[in-house]
């Protein structure tokens, strides 16, 4: 008897509990047709992961020196996939900003055409009209917005295409000193083609690009930081150094896999 | 049984009222709620580019004005003696001429009060860069024992009792006064503070050198020139712009020099950003401030150790502690040698820095105390 009288109250009680709370918004099911093509950049030193940027953990380099990276950022344009038949499939609008210290290293793209591809292409740098155009026109979250990236001279020199900075020691007992390479000006726009055959089908794919910091200093040009540790792409000696660094940069980036 | 039924009835009623927790910021029933939106383009000058703005806190005339009232109102402090504006005075670019500011009960702050303007372009706030959003920032001085020493519950109760806040919280947010909306209003006001009309800003990006005197122009080349020693060990440039560059005279990106150690001490006692991240490489690093209005934002550095700009220039020219392991690479990349600027170079650099004062901003009535006639 007691139970029969309690039941309606109990039902009302629990119904109220369930009804009085806001309904969870209905979750939209994942759209499997939106396959992604992702590109991830992973900083390396040789075959190993680069120690976290900004950590005073020195790794050896050419000439008995050692170095640690504090900041490594890149502005890319014409970021694209190259098909087997040499057609170009631009990723997004072709611009991208990689910043290893901020862990901005992985990028997703939709609607990549199915087919066979033979590699990834990008420029470190921009076309002249963009480089010397008005930097204030870009949306706040665009890779070319200087307020986001800090990669603009803020003067008439245009953008910094590539910033590679850190500390180095000339030998085991030396105290550390800074190095700073800022690539800029149209003279130093550089192109990269990272070859690897892969297929884009009905599933999402992820390309892994390694960036080996050690290669900047040794392949093919041995660079001793004790001799000169700074280049902002201006002045004769800085230009020689920047040319050496960018020549080496061709060995820095490798398309390791497309999974 | 009757007793049992009553208990159930009471339970049901209680659940009905509190079942999903108290609704914060309960909306007032007002179908006429329609604050006046302000387009960001009306606030942020085109020449600065568009900053990243909080999408969930659009600017409204009512919200900005409410924030301005709160900024100047000492009721935000425990004894109603200190407002935000007590330590952030407009005539000093919303900085404080004291090395350490004075909070409630005569207690001092631990660092120099930073100037406040063009904050929408920053990605980190406070000298130690510990906060990413202004709405979060405002709670710190309000609750700090040596600044305003307020409790949020007391503050909310106090605001609820003040008719002008009842009116303006309703106008801005359609809510009763509450501390969450308070932080959003202060965020709107702080983000809206813009300094853009200095001589430096008119000169930028250097297309019209006739705007500057000969000394100022030489100073511009020193400021924006790279460190490069000639055969006489003289450098034409002091490379100030890497951390204080662009039209905002600041580095917006923390990773590109926006947070740095500038060699003030060989072994810093104030660990700055390092105390926040607990990372060795961040020890003794601080947010690099904008140099706009630098003539009025002294004393300088996070601890207010330099009282004059001449002392600041002398530091960067002659007294940098390059032995600090966390000094920014950009500063030591030229070999860790003191710049040894000549007196003429120092004078020219100073002249250039003085072009960065924006008197229109320092006197802009839109940012002034709304309680003063």
B218 and B183 within one domain: no
Asked which of B167, B194, B221 is the last residue of a domain, the reply is B194
Region A185-197: mean pLDDT is 96
Residue B35 within any structural domain of the chain = yes
Considering only residues 108 to 127 of chain A, which have any Cβ-Cβ distance to chain B shorter than 8 Å? Answer: none
Place of tokens 């992820």: A206
Is B62 in the same domain as B190?
Answer: yes
Q: Return the residue of B nearest to A67 by Cα.
A: B329
How many Cα atoms sit within 13 Å of B63 on the Cβ side?
26
Q: Count Cβ atoms within 10 A of the Cβ of residue A109 and give its class: 0-12 exposed, 13-18 middle, 19 or more buried.
A: middle
In chain B, the number of structural domains is 2
Question: Element (H or E) spanning A38, and its range?
Answer: strand A36-45
Tokens of B320: 């940098």
- CA A206, CA A204: separation in Å to the nearest integer? 7
Angle, alpha carbons B352-B124-B154 (nearest 5°): 120
Interface of A with B in 181-220 (CB under 8 A): none
Question: Residue A72 in contact with residue A180, Cβ under 8 Å?
Answer: no
pLDDT band for position A24 (50/70/90)?
Answer: very low
- pLDDT above 90: percentage of residues in chain B: 76
Please state, in angstroms and as integers, the Cα–Cα distance from residue A195 to each residue in A43, A86, A159, B31, following that order.
18, 12, 28, 62
Nearest CA in chain A to B242: A153
pLDDT for residue A32: 46
Q: Show residues of chain A in contact with B221, CB under 8 Å.
A: none
Same domain, B187 and B266: no
Q: What is the pTM of this model?
A: 0.84
Give the percent of chain A with pLDDT over 90.
64
Q: What is the CA radius of gyration of chain A?
A: 25
Cα(A206)–Cα(A201) distance, integer angstroms: 12
CB contact under 8 A, A150 and B46: no
pLDDT for residue A225: 94
B19 → closest Cβ in A21, A153, A175 = A21
Q: Which residues contact B175 (CB under 8 A, 6 or more apart)?
A: B25, B26, B27, B28, B169, B181
Question: Do A133 and B237 touch, CB atoms closer than 8 A?
Answer: no
- Structural domain ending residue among the three candidates B194, B221, B247: B194
Which of B19, B258, B332 is opposite residue A17, by nearest beta carbon? Answer: B19
- Evaluate if residue B273 carries a pLDDT over 70: yes
pLDDT of the residue at A6: 54
pLDDT in tens, A142-157: 999 988 898 987 656 7
Q: Which two tokens stand for residue A224?
A: 């001793």
Q: Are residues B154 and B244 in the same domain?
A: no
How many angstroms separate the CA atoms of B157 and B176, rounded?
10
**Taking a contact as any Cβ pair under 8 Å apart, which residues of chain B between 133 and 152 contact chain A?**
none
Report yes or no on B181 lying in a domain.
yes
Written as six digits, the tokens of B155 are 């503050």
Residue B346, domain member (yes or no): yes
Domain end marker among B165, B194, B223: B194
Lowest mean pLDDT among A9-13, A216-220, B311-315: A9-13
Confidence band of B262 (pLDDT split at 50, 70, 90)? very high
| DSSP symbol at A202 | S
Q: For position B161, which CATH number holds?
A: 1.10.760.10
Q: In this model, does residue B283 exceed pLDDT 70?
A: yes
Same domain, B218 and B320: yes
Q: Please give the residue range of the domain that contains residue B42.
A: 26-50+57-194
Cβ distance of B245 and A156 shorter than 8 Å: no
| Per-residue pLDDT tens over the stretch B302-349 | 999 999 999 999 999 999 999 988 999 889 888 889 999 999 999 999
Domain boundaries, chain A: 32-258
Nearest to A5 among B1, B19, B241 (CB): B1
Same domain for B261 and B134, yes or no, is no
In a shared domain, residues B40 and B148:
yes
Q: How would residue A29 be classed by pLDDT, with cut points 50, 70 and 90?
A: very low
Identify the residue among A142, A147, A163, A223 best suited for mutation to test binding to B, counting B beta carbons within 10 A and taking the highest. Answer: A147
Residue B155 located in a structural domain: yes
Handedness of CA B138, B144, B149, B153 (dihedral sign): positive
For residue B368, the number of C-alpha atoms closer than 13 Å in the C-beta half-sphere is 11
């Amino acid at each position: 008897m007691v139970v029969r009288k309690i039941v309606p109250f109990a039902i009302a009680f629990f119904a109220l509990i369930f009804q009085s709370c806001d309904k969870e918004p209905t979750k939209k099911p994942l759209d499997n047709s939106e396959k992604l093509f992702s590109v991830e950049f992973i900083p390396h030193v040789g075959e190993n992961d680069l120690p976290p940027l900004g950590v005073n953990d020195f790794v050896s380099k050419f000439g008995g020196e050692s170095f640690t990276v504090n900041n490594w950022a890149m502005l890319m344009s014409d970021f694209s996939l190259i098909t087997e038949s040499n057609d170009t499939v631009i990723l997004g609008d072709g611009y991208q900003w990689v910043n290893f210290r901020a862990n901005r290293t992985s990028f997703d793209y939709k609607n990549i055409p199915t087919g066979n591809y033979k590699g990834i292409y990008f420029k470190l740098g921009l076309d002249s009209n963009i480089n010397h155009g008005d930097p204030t026109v870009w949306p706040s979250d665009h890779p070319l917005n200087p307020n986001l990236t800090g990669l603009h001279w803020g003067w008439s020199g245009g953008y910094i295409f590539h910033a590679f900075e850190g500390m180095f020691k000339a030998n085991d007992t030396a105290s550390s000193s800074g190095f700073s390479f800022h690539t800029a000006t149209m003279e130093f726009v550089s192109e990269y083609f990272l070859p690897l055959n892969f297929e884009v089908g009905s599933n999402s794919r992820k390309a892994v690009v390694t960036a080996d910091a050690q290669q900047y200093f040794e392949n093919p040009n041995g660079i001793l930081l004790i001799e000169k540790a700074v280049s902002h792409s201006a002045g004769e000696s800085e230009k020689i150094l920047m040319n050496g660094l960018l020549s080496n940069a061709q060995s820095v980036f490798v398309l390791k896999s497309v999974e | 049984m009757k007793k049992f039924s009553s208990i159930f009835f009471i339970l049901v009623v209680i659940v009905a009222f509190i079942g999903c927790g108290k609704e914060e910021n309960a909306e007032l029933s007002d179908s006429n709620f329609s604050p006046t939106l302000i387009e960001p383009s009306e606030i942020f000058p085109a020449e600065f580019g568009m900053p990243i703005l909080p999408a969930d806190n659009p600017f409204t005339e009512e919200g900005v004005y409410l924030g301005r009232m709160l900024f100047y109102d000492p009721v935000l402090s425990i004894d109603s003696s200190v407002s935000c504006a007590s330590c952030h005075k407009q005539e000093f670019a919303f900085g404080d001429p004291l090395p350490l500011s004075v909070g409630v009960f005569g207690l001092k702050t631990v660092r120099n009060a930073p100037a406040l303007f063009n904050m929408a372009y920053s990605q980190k706030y406070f000298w130690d860069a510990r906060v990413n959003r202004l709405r979060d920032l405002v709670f710190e001085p309000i609750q700090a024992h040596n600044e305003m020493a307020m409790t949020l519950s007391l503050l909310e109760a106090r605001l609820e009792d003040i008719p002008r806040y009842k009116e303006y919280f309703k106008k801005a947010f359609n809510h009763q006064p509450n501390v969450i909306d308070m932080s959003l209003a202060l965020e709107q006001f702080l983000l809206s503070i813009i300094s853009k009309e200095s001589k430096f800003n008119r000169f930028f990006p250097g297309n019209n050198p006739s705007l500057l005197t000969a000394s100022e122009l030489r100073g511009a080349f020193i400021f924006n020139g790279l460190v490069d020693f000639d055969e006489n060990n003289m450098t034409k440039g002091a490379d100030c712009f890497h951390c204080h560059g662009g039209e905002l005279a600041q580095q917006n990106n923390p990773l590109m020099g926006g947070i740095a150690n500038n060699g003030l001490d060989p072994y810093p006692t104030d660990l700055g950003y390092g105390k926040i991240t607990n990372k060795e490489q961040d020890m003794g690093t601080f947010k690099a401030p904008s140099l706009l209005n630098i003539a009025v934002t002294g004393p300088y550095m996070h601890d207010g150790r330099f009282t004059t700009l001449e002392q600041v220039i002398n530091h960067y020219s002659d007294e940098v502690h390059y032995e600090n392991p966390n000094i920014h690479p950009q500063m030591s990349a030229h070999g860790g040698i003191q710049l040894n600027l000549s007196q003429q170079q120092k004078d020219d650099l100073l002249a250039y820095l003085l072009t960065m004062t924006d008197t229109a901003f320092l006197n802009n009535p839109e940012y002034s105390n709304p309680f003063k006639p």
